[in-house]
């Protein structure tokens, strides 16, 4: 298996999947490779032949790879991006496991674990009917998160620095979700009034990420505005470096339940693993490998 990226960077995915293959005794390997945009089509074409089972795809290729697939799952088609490629004979099927991975990560939090169907297994997506969510950002990660939240029954508001980009996201995904009242743009001027009605706040931007352009900043809001959230609100940051971002630190200081992006990373990887192998992913093995990698400890 490969991870197609540019640059390849320091991804935790090889550690997670390598640990999973070893745990199940599978004769498979996983390697992150740097693929320039000009070389993407050729790299993808090679995946259609053995011995490849498939690949993962990350920045900046998730959207560009979608037209190169023979088939897209409904989630990948709706989001317009692919993060997992599965080879079926000589055909390539594009999946997007980010959204489902996000929902499964939410299910680990007590407020959402209680919303899982009574007969659901571990990690099942919660039923978010009647919940209102605010997603910060309008990029590829935001699209996957918004799509998954809508599928789980939530109402979603999207806030972005470039309001026109947020409007495009809303317009695109409203074609999938017929109830336009459940997906709307949140104007920056409306944010203070909206926050008191939010059950879940999600940061899908890179603001607050170690090594990013704004590592000490809060995304699209001020720390004092977090006081406007209900006491039972949950704050999720898709960033996992650092483990406690400025947003999560400010939210936890106000007593709110918080989660960083590591559980989502693990669950989207587990779903990709299952799509490739047909075997149940050893989720805790993958989580431990990712945590070791973040801590700089050897596998």
Peptide bond before 265: cis, by omega within 30 degrees of 0? Answer: no
Q: Where are the beta strands (DSSP E) in 58-212?
A: 71-72, 84-88, 91-95, 132-136, 155-159, 183-185, 200-203
Residue with tokens 């993060």: 83
Give Dmax (Cα) for the chain.
55
End-to-end CA separation in angstroms for the chain: 19
Are the C-beta atoms of residues 33 and 47 closer than 8 Å to each other?
no
Number of Cβ atoms within 10 Å of the Cβ of 50: 8
CA angle 195, 198, 204 (to 5 degrees): 90
Token pair for residue 54? 């498939």
Q: Looking at the chain, how many residues does it have?
A: 299
157 is catalytic: no
Residue 205 vs residues 141, 159, 174: alpha-carbon distances, Å: 8, 11, 21
Peptide bond into 52 cis (omega under 30): no
Query: Which residue in the list 17, 61, 62, 147 is annotated as catalytic?
Result: 62
For residue 142, give the DSSP letter.
H
| Cα distance between residue 238 and residue 206, in whole Å | 8
Three-state secondary-structure class, residue 136: strand
Active site residues: 62
């Amino acid at each position: 298996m490969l991870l197609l990226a540019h640059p390849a960077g320091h991804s935790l995915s090889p550690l997670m999947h390598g640990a999973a293959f070893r745990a199940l005794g599978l004769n498979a390997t996983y390697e992150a490779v740097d693929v320039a945009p000009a070389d993407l089509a050729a790299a993808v074409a090679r995946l259609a032949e053995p011995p490849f089972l498939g690949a993962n795809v990350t920045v900046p290729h998730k959207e560009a790879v979608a037209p190169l697939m023979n088939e897209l799952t409904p989630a990948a088609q709706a989001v317009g991006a692919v993060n997992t490629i599965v080879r079926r004979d000589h055909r390539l099927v594009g999946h997007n496991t980010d959204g489902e991975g996000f929902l499964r990560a939410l299910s680990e939090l007590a407020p959402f674990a209680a919303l899982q169907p009574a007969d659901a297994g571990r990690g099942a997506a919660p039923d978010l009917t009647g919940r209102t969510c605010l997603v910060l950002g309008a990029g590829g990660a935001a699209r996957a998160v918004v799509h998954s939240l809508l599928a789980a029954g939530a109402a979603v508001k999207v806030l972005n620095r470039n309001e026109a980009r947020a409007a495009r996201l809303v317009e695109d995904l409203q074609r999938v979700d017929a109830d336009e009242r459940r997906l709307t743009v949140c104007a920056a001027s409306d944010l203070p009034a909206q926050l008191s009605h939010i059950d879940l706040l999600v940061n899908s931007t890179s603001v607050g990420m170690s090594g990013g352009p704004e590592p000490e900043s809060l995304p699209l809001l001020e720390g004092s505005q977090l006081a406007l959230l209900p006491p039972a609100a949950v704050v999720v940051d898709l960033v996992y470096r650092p483990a406690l971002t400025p947003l999560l630190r400010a939210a936890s200081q106000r007593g709110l339940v918080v989660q960083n992006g590591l559980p989502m990373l693990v669950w989207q990887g587990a779903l990709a693993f299952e799509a490739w192998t047909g075997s149940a992913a050893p989720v805790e093995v993958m989580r431990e490998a990712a945590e070791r990698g973040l801590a700089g400890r050897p596998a």
